[in-house]
A and B are shown apart, each in its own frame.
Chain A
Amino acid sequence: RKEVEQDPGPFNVPEGATVAFNCTYSNSASQSFFWYRQDCRKEPKLLMSVYSSGNEDGRFTAQLNRASQYISLLIRDSKLSDSATYLCVVNSGTASKLTFGTGTRLQVTL
């Protein structure tokens, strides 16, 4: 089983739609969780950290479920500019080890 698993998509949604991605992780000792965004042929950039209590940043909401070992990302009112690949990232104990999921591709259309 992969340490971090994501549905590769693509998720094709119309502008204005709400879309949600899930990511599961296998190491129950994982301590930190992130969502990064990667545009085509560009470097990943931090979208948001995921806290135990859940957190929101504008149209983006991240949730953590430790019991079921998954994190989620909800995007409301999707924009064309949200089209990208969303990477789930988990830090498993040691500061140096970040494990990246393979990413979920989102395509927002008119």
Chain B
Amino acid sequence: NAGVTQTPKFQVLKTGQSMTLQCAQDMNHEYMSWYRQDPGMGLRLIHYSVGAGITDQGEVPNGYNVSRSTTEDFPLRLLSAAPSQTSVYFCASSETGGRYNEQFFGPGTRLTVL
């Protein structure tokens, strides 16, 4: 099993550009989520999905869109990149969003917006 994979590993964008961060998992997990990690802030939840066709907002959803057309994939779209979106982005999955379920993280995407 590859686990949770993310592409690209690194990306530099100019302000106003759009892009999609890819996330895929091969563990047949229902629950997937996107976090961003900034220095001194901890990981913050952007969007999450409890299954194909179902998504919801997390703590910091503005400027990001998601969709979940399959169980495996959960892409994150930046609509119009801003310097404030410079961050490290982690995708995670778990069997359910249940209280005791371990979340498995992808290796992260390091995004810089100029």
Once bound together, how far apart are the Cα atoms of A101 and B99, in whole Å?
Answer: 17
Q: Which residue of chain B lies nearest to A97 when distances are taken between CB atoms in the complex?
A: B45
Please indicate the chain A residues that have their CB under 8 angstroms from the CB of B58 in the complex: 96-97
B107 A95 Cβ-Cβ under 8 A = no
A4 B90 Cβ-Cβ under 8 A = no
- How many Å from the CB of A100 to the closest CB on chain B? 4
In the complex, 12 of the A-B residue pairs with CB atoms within 8 angstroms, ordered by the A residue number, are A42-B108, A43-B90, A43-B105, A43-B106, A43-B107, A43-B108, A87-B43, A91-B99, A95-B31, A97-B58, A100-B43, A103-B42
Q: Could you give, for residues 24-43 of chain B, a 1 whenever the CB lies within 8 Å of some chain A CB and a 0 otherwise?
A: 00000001010100001111
Interchain CB contact (< 8 A) of B90 among A32, A44, A46: A44
Q: Is A61 an interface residue (CB 8 A)?
A: no
Please indicate the chain B residues that have their CB under 8 angstroms from the CB of A42 in the complex: 107-108
Please indicate the chain B residues that have their CB under 8 angstroms from the CB of A103 in the complex: 42
Interchain CB contact (< 8 A) of A101 among B35, B42, B107: B42
Please indicate the chain B residues that have their CB under 8 angstroms from the CB of A94 in the complex: 97
Q: Is A49 an interface residue (CB 8 A)?
A: yes
Please indicate the chain A residues that have their CB under 8 angstroms from the CB of B102 in the complex: 46
Once bound together, how far apart are the Cα atoms of A77 and B63, in whole Å?
Answer: 46
Q: Could you give, for residues 43-57 of chain B, a 1 whenever the CB lies within 8 Å of some chain A CB and a 0 otherwise?
A: 111001010000010
Q: Is A31 an interface residue (CB 8 A)?
A: yes
Please indicate the chain B residues that have their CB under 8 angstroms from the CB of A101 in the complex: 42
Given A96-B50, A101-B42, A103-B42, answer yes or no on A45-B97 (Cβ-Cβ < 8 Å). no
Interface centre among B43, B96, B106, B107 (most CB of A within 10 A): B43
B42 A45 Cβ-Cβ under 8 A = no
Q: Could you give, for residues 74-104 of chain A, a 1 whenever the CB lies within 8 Å of some chain B CB and a 0 otherwise?
A: 0000000000000100010011111111110
Of residues 53 through 91 on chain B, the ones whose CB sits less than 8 Å from some CB of chain A are 56, 58, 90
Q: Which residue of chain A lies nearest to B35 when distances are taken between CB atoms in the complex?
A: A100
